[in-house]
Amino acid sequence: MDMVFLSKYYKFFINGTGITLFLSLFGVIFGVIIGVFLALMKMSKKSFFSMIASAYIEIIRGTPLLVQLFIIYIGLPKVTGIPFTDLSIGIIAVSLNSAAYVAEIIRAGIQSIDKGQMEAARSLGMTHSMGMRLIIIPQAFKNILPALGNEFIVLVKESAIVSVIGIHDLMYNADTVRGISFKPFTPLFIAAIIYFIITFSLSKLVGILERRLRAGDSNI
Tally of domains in the chain:
1
pTM equals 0.85
Longest Cα separation, the chain: 70
Q: What residues make up the domain containing 205? A: 3-218
Q: Which ranges of the chain have pLDDT less than 70?
A: 1-2, 215-220
User: pLDDT value at position 7?
Assistant: 84
Instruction: List the alpha helices (DSSP H) in 81-169.
Output: 86-111, 115-123, 128-131, 137-158
Closest CA to 24 of 149, 152, 147, 144: 152
**Over the stretch 15-61, which tens digit does the pLDDT of each residue have?**
999 999 999 999 989 999 999 999 989 988 889 999 999 999 999 99
- Residue 138, pLDDT score: 81
Look at phi and psi of residue 76 and say left if phi exceeds 0, alpha if psi is from -120 to 50, else beta.
Answer: alpha
What is the model's pLDDT at position 218? 56
Q: What is the CATH number of the domain that holds 204?
A: 1.10.3720.10
